[in-house]
Structure formats: structure tokens, C-alpha cells
Amino acid sequence: MFGKIIRLLDKYFEEVLCAICLATMSSTIMFQVVLRYVFGDAHAWVEEISIIGMIGGVYFGAALAVRNKDHLRIVFVLKSLPKFIRTPTIILADLLWLGFIVFLLVQSIEFMKILFTTHYILPGLGIENRWPYLIIPIALVLMIIRMVQVYVRWITKKDKELI
Amino acid sequence: MNGPLLMGIIFLVTMAIGVPIPFAAGLAAIAGVYIIDMPMTLLAQSAYTAFESFPLVTIPLFVLAGQLMERGGMSNHLINISKSLVGSFRGGMGMVTVVACMFFAALSGSGPATTAAIGSITIPGMIKEGYKPRFAGAIAAAGGALGSMIPPSNLLIIYALSSDQSIPRLFLAGIVPGIFLTLLLLLVTFVLSVKYKFGGSDSAFSLGLLLRALWAGKWAIGAPIVILGGIYSGLFTPTEAAAVAVFYGLFVGLFIYKELSWKGMYESLKFTAVVIGTVLFILGSSKAFGQMVTLYDIPEQISTIFAIFESRTWMVLLVIGIIYIIAGMWIETVPQVIIFTAVFFPYVQALGIDPILFGVFTVMTCEVGFLTPPIGVNLFVASRISNTTIEDVSVGVIPFLLPYIGIIILMAFYGGWVTFLPDLFYGTQL
Amino acid sequence: WAKPLTINVGYTGALGSPYDLLATKFAELANEYSNGEVNVKVRCCAQLATEDEAFKAMQLGTVDMYVITDVNVGPHFPLFDIMGLPYVFQSREHVKKVLDGPVGEKLAQDLYDATGVMLLTYGGVGYRDFYNTKRPINTMADLEGIKIRVPKNKAMIATWQAFGAAPIPLAWADTPPALQTGTVDGGDNGTSFIKAQKFYEIAPYLSILEHFAYITPLFASDRILSKMDDAQREAVMRAAKEAGEHHVKEMERELGELRSFLANEGGMEVTYPDKAEFIKVAQQVQDDFSADRSEEFKKLLQDIRDAAK
Ligand code: NA
Ligand code: NA
């Protein structure tokens, strides 16, 4: 049972979050068009919701791309290296990349602290900006988890290649 | 320690050893922020604020619309129509892509969104017809850049707001160069297709076949009609049009062609998420990168070389063009227009260069940045959709840069052909 | 002796805009009064940050100083929303009395206490002038059914509704094409922006309503202020104060020039509707708007109204 939940989360977690974000984004903008013509009305929160949806799509999509090894990288240098140098180079690159994510996570938490001591009310939605901002640290944590997962799969030989 | 130099080295080295491009840019930005002694929370702030631009949402929406149209059967109909129209010609589908980009550019203000919308439909079609994937991707990337030249254009708007010029005038001025660029891109596509024998294997042109394809694909043709018509009649704004495209794709796929399944919808959303998660993601770090370019006064330092050319305007424009193309390799296009316009515009104005001409010139040169590695968003989108590496698409796109360079040179020597349309319409500038 | 200090002061408008006027004058005076020890670099055109981001960035210390329009301060410090209410300032004398007096002083202090961002000077006042493509506007009845582009701002939407027009919230980027296609019939913007964007080429009618006044104060981060020694801070404060006074005068002079340009060279038909009926409706909007706001908000609104008497 527990194993099954983990497997489902592993397969679908970011995907479903992304799907929800993107579906919300499209629907709210469509809703705005309809609102204006059917009810002669428009709302400021449409823009805010759709931007939040996009940010969710981008960041959870980025976490998804870590799992699927989809991030855009230059590979021709790596490919020209002999295998015994290539693998350590990839590991070094991944460590640097992981280091950046951890660093950004630490900075995001610092930033969150400031958001929690100051105010920024989204004019349309009337909520504090700190809540949508939570997407960033959450997605960064997901990225770290996915990065670790990539290595676990490689070490346990479930995946042959690191990139 | 020289900040910009260190940033450049870190960016290049980390990228070369395989750090994904957005993260390499982020690592370089950390070094820049450290040396200039700014709080590092700057990076956390730009990771969010870089996306707080409403027109940006057109990019995911058009990627999604393209996916829904492909999985819902609309794209096949569009491809059938274009096949029966130009399938008998060498490079027919490639040229259809360019023309479709031109029409789409008249709807969308964004280069990457144009590549995404048209490329999602025609790149798979071209690959099926035997085009090399890198070539197919390159056509869509190069054609997509039209999105920023033919009005509406986000880049022209940004230039207008930075230089206090009229948006409607700039939009009018973008039309002729945009069409001219389209023609030259068509020429390159045709020549290369003849050389490499892409396309043209279908049977000869037949009016009957075309009419049948048109009839079968009437709902597919409805998409551009609804979107174009909607914008030009004032029914909805260009940004809203992207959402309308999504729902039109959904509607036709679910209820007319009935080829769209729940799974297809889910896959479309997932694909869109991966595209924006890898492509748009870079805006988060490139924004901090751009701010460093400002704080280190890089444009200011570059502008000292203008003094050498004194009042020879064509030389100044050519030098600016070269600077913009080189800068465009490294800086994302939107911040590039903001940062450089702010510094260069006063010099250009003092030389008496027409500010409208300079706007079109700026957008044309900065647009090349969409197509040059390492940071070229159109290339990223095209490589995602054609499933090839960035290196591959970057090589494929080289011949398509020639039309851009040709027009840039032409504008530097004589700009009257750009400004005559707005002057005709609104009278010469007061 | 402190080290010579570099300050980056940013704004969102173009070179030559009212923001530029304030920032550039400040830079010049700060340099002069500090004997070159404070080097102010002016960054136009949202190079440093956009106006939406700049306030938060000053709280973080990632932006030193920034010129921000009042409406964009509101989300961070709700009392500033008052500036966005229609006819909150009824005349030029009224503005002066409020901002130069104890009300303005207390507001700046409250802002600093709540956010850690210092208001250096309020600067001059500008007005959003109203243009449209349909007809000359002389009375409120003429506004009936006119579709007006507004930023996504509740007070502005409510105001235009109260005036009997049809406000349509639209992103700025979508506005010029929307005007040409008729999605909207008009809008209101700062007078210099109307000229710069050549709206006179699209919209033939200009109405001087002065329904929305706006101010563009200069703000500074605590981080940059704490980097200064006493002499430097004194020079900066003096420079800001005088730059503000200069700005007030210049804005007033420029406004006259701009409007006459729009009427003559621009060929716009200019009308001066009687403000009385608009002010009356606007005060209702003010009341509605402050009903669910804090006690401080209501008190500030009352103080401002009292100053008009
Ligand atoms: Na366009
Ligand atoms: Na580039």
C-alpha cells in the first residue's frame, strides 16, 4: 500500500501539479473573455491567477525535467571526452548544479522570511504575495529530491546513463 | 576582480562541462552579485519576478494550443491542406512554415511563442516528409523571430516605453521589414530544400485534391480565422487570443474531429510543462544576469567606442548592430532591449537618426539573439519540439541568419524604406 | 571619513519623463552637496527593476533608490492607496498643504516604520488626462457607454463605473492595438505620456478632468542609508528635498506646455468639464472604498479632506 502511494507520487506528482497550473491559467484567461462579453465585466485577479499558474507550470515543469533529464545542456564537449573522464565531469557538473539549487533554496527561504515580515497584497486577489511565492522553495526542494533520485537509480543500475 | 570577466568565464566553463544552461547562467550571476556586493536574495527575488509579465503567458498557451491541435487531429488537416497546396514543390512544407509564422506573427507579439505555436504543428510534419530535424527546427526558429518584427510586437513595445516613442508608429514601421524578411526566409528555405532535396515527393498539384483537403479541414482553417478575426475586430486582445486558441483546439478535438482523449489532453499539458520548465525557466536566472550587466555599466563602457565614428551614422548603426548581435548571444532578448536602449538611445538621437528607424533596427538586431547560442529561446523551443540538441539546431539555423544580416545592413545605409509607412499614415513626426 | 559612495537610483519611465526630471536633479544636487563624495548613477527605463518590484527590492536592499508612482506603493503599504482615489486632491494648493504639512510628514514616518523604506521627497504632482476616440466630454452624461482602458486597479475601475463609463481593465501592452481596433474607446494617462505615445494621432478628444492626481516620490532603502556617514546623509537629504521642490515647479510648468501642445500641434479638441458633479460622485467612491479599510486609513482620508477646507 505505502509502496504503491510512493510509486504513484513518483510518477505523477509534478505532472499533476503542472497540469492543474496550466489548466487554471488557460481557463481563467478564457473566463475573462467570456466575462467581458457575456457580463460586460472584467476582473483584475485574472491576470494574477494566470501568472501564478504559469510560474507553477514553469517551476514544477523544471522539477519534472530534472527527473526526465530534459534540461537544456551542451553535450558535445562531454561526448568528445573519453568515458573515464566523462563520468566524473558529469558528476562535477551535477554537483555544481545541485549546489546552485541548494543556494537558491537558502536565498528563497531568506526571501520568504522577509515576505512574512512585510506586506505585499496582490491588488486583484487581495492575498499576500508570500503564498504564491511558496511555489519556488517547494519546487526547489522537489528538484533536489529528483536529483538525488537520478543518482540512486544510476548507482543501483536502474539507469545506465547519467544524462 | 573583474566582475563581468569572471561571470563570463564561469558561464562558459560550467556550460561546457554540462551544467544545464539556466543553471550555468545562475552560477555566473552569483559571482556577479558577490563581487558588486549586493544581497544574494536578489537571485531569489528575480526567480519569481522574472515571470510577472502577463504577455509572457502567451508562450505556454500557444505551446498548449499547438499540442491540443496536434493530438486532436487539427494539425493533420492543416498539413494535408498545405501539402495539397505546395506539396509538389521542393521545400513546400518549409515555406508553409515560414508563411504561417508570418501570419501568426501578426497575432502574437512574441518570437518564442510564434516558434512554439507554428513549430508544434509543422516541425513533426516536416520530419515526416523527410526533412532533417535540425533543418525543420531551424526553419521554425527563424520564422518564429518574425513574431517580434511584424506587429504586434512585445519588443517594439519595450523599446517604445524605454525611448518614449509611439507604439502605433513603431508597429507600422515593422510591417515592411517583416514582410521583406519573410520573403528572404522563403528564398533561403527554397534554395536549401532544392540543395538537400527536402520535400516535393508528392504528386503534382491538383485543384480537386486541394478543395477536398480544404473542405475536410474547414474546422482547422477556422483556428487562424477565429484568432486573427477576433483580434482585428477587437473581440479580444492578443494575449486573450492565446487562451481562445487553446479552447478552440480543445473544442474541435473533442467535439468535431473527436480524436482528443483524456490521455491526449493530459499529455499535452505535460509536454507544455516540460517545454516551459526547461525553456522559460532560464528567464529566472537571466534576469539577475541582466541586472548585473546594468550595474557593471557594460553598455556605458561599450558606447565609448562610438566616439571613433563621429557622425557617420551608417557606421555607428553597423557597429551597434554588431554589438547587439554579440550581446544577444549571451543576454536574453527582452532585458537586452531594455538595457541597451536606455544607454544607446541618447547617442543615436544626438546623431539625428530617426528614433522609429532605430526601434525597428534594434528589434531586428536583438531578434538575432533568439537564434544564437548559448542563450537563444527560439532555438530552445525548436530543439525541444524537433527533439534534437541545441548544438544541432544552432548549426541548422546559420543560413537563416543571412536574411537578418542583409536587412540590418540595408537599414544602416538607408532607413527611408522603413519609416515611409508610418510617416505616410500619421504624417512626419512632430 | 566614509568612503565615496555610489548610489544607483532607478525609475521606470523613459529619459525625459517626469521621473527622470526628479532623479536627475537629485543626482546633480547630491553630487554637489557632498562635494563629489556621493556618486549617484541614474538608471532609466526599468533597467534595475520594474516599479512593481522596486519597493520590495528596496526592502531587501537590492535596489538603492527608486522613483515609484503612488499606486505601486499601495500593495506594500496600504495607506498609500488613498492617493489613488478620485479627487483625493481637489486643487494644487490642497496637494501642497497636505504633502508639505504634518499629514505628509506623518505618512512618510509611518511608511518608514512599517516597511523600512524611506520616503525622501514626494516630488511634484501630475494628472491623468482623459482621451477618447468617440466624442468631446463636457458633462458626466457624455461618458455614458464609453469603453475606457484602465489598469487593473480597483479604485480606478470603481471611479469610472461611478462616472457612468465602461471601464475595461487591460494590460498596458495590449492598449494601443485595443484603441485602434475599438476594443476600448479611450483611457487616461499622464499628460507627458499621452504626448510621447502620440495618442493624439489616434484619439481626437482630450478632457481635462484632473480626476486622478499622482505623485512620484523618491524612496531609499535602509541598506543604502546605513552606508552613509552623517555628512553624506545630510547632503542626500538636502538634495532630495530641493530636487522635490524643483520637481513641483517643473511639473506645473510642463503640464501647461504639454496641454497646449496637444491642443495645437496635436490637434486634439480639449474640453474642460465642470468638476463639481464629478467631485461629488468621487467622494462617494472614496467613502465606499474606505468603508472596509483600517482606522488609520479613514483618519488619513479625513485629515486630507480637512486640509481642503
Ligand atoms: Na508579432
Ligand atoms: Na542568443
pLDDT in tens, B152-163: 788 888 898 788
Asked if B45 and C176 come within 8 Å (Cβ–Cβ), the reply is: no
Which residues have a Cβ under 8 Å from the Cβ of A65 and sit 6 or more positions away? A71, B274, B277, B278, B281
Task: Specify if A89 maps to a domain.
Answer: yes
Contact assessment for residue B375 and residue B121, using Cβ atoms and an 8 Å cutoff = no
- What is the separation of C-alpha B105 from the centre of its chain, rounded to a whole number of angstroms? 9
* Cα-based torsion angle of the residue sequence B226, B228, B230, B231 in order, rounded to the nearest 10 degrees: 160
The answer to whether residue B228 scores a pLDDT higher than 80 is no
Residue C36 has a pLDDT of: 92
| Residue B54 touches chain C, beta carbons under 8 Å | yes
Please give the residue range of the domain that contains residue A110: 2-155
B326 Cα: distance to centroid of ligand 2 (angstroms): 8
Chain C's closest residue to B160, CA to CA, is C197
- Mutation for testing the C interface, residue in A121, A128, A130, A131 having most C CBs under 10 Å: A121
B333 Cα: distance to centroid of ligand 2 (angstroms): 7
- Mutation for testing the A interface, residue in C152, C222, C223, C294 having most A CBs under 10 Å: C152
- For strands C213-215 and C125-132, give the pairing: antiparallel
How many structural domains are present in chain A?
1
Q: Which residue has the cell 494628472?
A: C127
Distance, in Å, from the CA atom of B342 to the CA atom of A49, rounded to the nearest integer, reads 32
What are residue C150's DSSP bridge partners?
A: C169
DSSP secondary structure string for all residues of C81-149: GGGGSTTSS-SHHHHHHHHHSHHHHHHHHHHHHHHSEEEEE---EEEEEEEESS----SGGGGTT-EEE
For residue A111, the chain B residues in CB contact (below 8 A) are 41, 44-45
Classify the phi-psi angles of C46: left when phi > 0, otherwise alpha if psi is within -120 to 50, otherwise beta: left
Distance, in Å, from the CA atom of C101 to the CA atom of C122, rounded to the nearest integer, reads 12
Task: Specify if A161 maps to a domain.
Answer: no
Specify the 3-state DSSP secondary structure of B254.
helix
Handedness of CA C12, C237, C212, C54 (dihedral sign): positive
Specify the 3-state DSSP secondary structure of C11.
coil
| Residue B38 touches chain A, beta carbons under 8 Å | no
Chain B's closest residue to A63, CA to CA, is B277
User: Taking every pair of C-alpha atoms in chain C, what is the biggest distance, in angstroms?
Assistant: 65
Q: Which residue has the cell 475586430?
A: B233
The answer to whether residue B291 scores a pLDDT higher than 80 is yes
Which ligand does the CA of B379 lie closest to?
2
CA-based nearest residue to C105, from C86, C118, C92: C118
For residue C114, the chain A residues in CB contact (below 8 A) are 119
Angle, helices A135-155/B41-49, rounded to nearest 10 degrees: 100
DSSP secondary structure string for all residues of B34-61: HHHT--THHHHHHHHHTT--GGGGHHHH
What's the one-letter identity of residue B148? S
Return the C-alpha cell found at B297: 555599466
CA-based nearest residue to C139, from C165, C157, C159: C165
Asked if A118 and C56 come within 8 Å (Cβ–Cβ), the reply is: yes
Asked if A74 and B391 come within 8 Å (Cβ–Cβ), the reply is: yes
Classify the phi-psi angles of B160: left when phi > 0, otherwise alpha if psi is within -120 to 50, otherwise beta: alpha
Asked if A44 and C75 come within 8 Å (Cβ–Cβ), the reply is: no
Whether a cis peptide bond, with omega within 30° of 0, leads into B374 is: yes
| Residue A109 touches chain C, beta carbons under 8 Å | no
Write out the H or E segment, with its range, that includes residue C213: strand C213-215
Residue A42 has a pLDDT of: 61
Specify the 3-state DSSP secondary structure of A128.
strand
Task: Specify if A66 maps to a domain.
Answer: yes
Q: pLDDT tens per residue, chain C (309 residues)?
A: 457 899 999 999 888 889 999 999 999 999 999 999 999 999 998 888 888 889 999 999 999 999 999 989 998 999 999 999 999 998 889 999 999 999 999 999 999 999 999 999 999 999 999 999 999 999 999 999 999 999 877 889 999 999 999 998 877 767 877 887 788 999 999 998 899 888 898 899 999 999 999 999 999 999 999 999 999 999 999 999 999 999 999 999 999 999 999 999 999 999 999 999 999 999 999 999 999 999 999 999 999 999 988
| Residue C265 touches chain B, beta carbons under 8 Å | yes
Cα angle, residue B68 at apex, residues B66 and B72 outer, rounded to 5°: 120
- Mutation for testing the B interface, residue in C20, C39, C65, C174 having most B CBs under 10 Å: C174
Contact assessment for residue B78 and residue B341, using Cβ atoms and an 8 Å cutoff = no
ipTM attached to this prediction: 0.85
| Residue B376 touches chain A, beta carbons under 8 Å | no
Asked if A119 and C76 come within 8 Å (Cβ–Cβ), the reply is: yes
